[in-house]
A and B are shown apart, each in its own frame.
Chain A
């Protein structure tokens, strides 16, 4: 069964304190792994898509990496405006779940000034 697990559930960082969020997945052939950011009262906003192990993508203070079993979202020198819930989702290439996204429960990040 396709599954996505994110950890930690919540993370509090001081401004400038770098850290990483984890997304572990089990899927019948990975077609794509997606990272989204969700602010309170808003819908998820797309950040990155990763397709194969070893791939990395960066955007400002965020860098996403992918292995065959997990993805990390590295946050370097975070600022308070990076506070949000970060969602991971996977799309399978085969099986009953193919074509649809399976989401994790998210990591709620708080960056303290």
Chain B
């Protein structure tokens, strides 16, 4: 049982839909992250929240909108997506952003397919 839980596990959405991905961590961490994983590409950092404040936005298109209401929950709101946005979206947490000796703890991801 991972300490980071993501829902849903799978999501199929049309290009005009609006949906949200949810992430919850039970590890008492203060930093949460969204990563995108596409086939044959490195994990791409999308957003970082540290103590509920956004510290990184890695030039992500505005059709992806993150929300971090508290240190345990992270959302990724999706609207007007493109087929190339189909990927595995991974949530991760760590005790605090930037601490080199604190590895990321990942959830099992949401497999998103945009039709």
Chain A interface (Cβ within 8 Å of chain B)? 4, 31-32, 34, 36, 41-46, 49, 51, 87, 89, 91, 93, 98-105
Please, which residue of chain B has its CB at the minimum distance from the CB of A4?
A: B42
B81 CB–A CB distance under 8 Å: no
Q: Which of B11-19, B67-75, B98-106 contacts A (4 or more CB under 8 A)?
A: B98-106
Looking at chain B's contact residues, the main secondary structure is: loop
Please, which residue of chain A has its CB at the minimum distance from the CB of B90?
A: A43
Looking at chain A's contact residues, the main secondary structure is: strand
CA distance A104 to B72 in the complex (A): 28
Residues A105 and B40 in contact in the complex (CB < 8 Å), given A43-B106, A100-B48: yes
Please, which residue of chain B has its CB at the minimum distance from the CB of A93?
A: B100
B-side contacts of A101, CB under 8 Å: 43, 45, 104
CA distance A99 to B48 in the complex (A): 10
Shortest distance in angstroms between A4's beta carbon and chain B's nearest beta carbon? 7
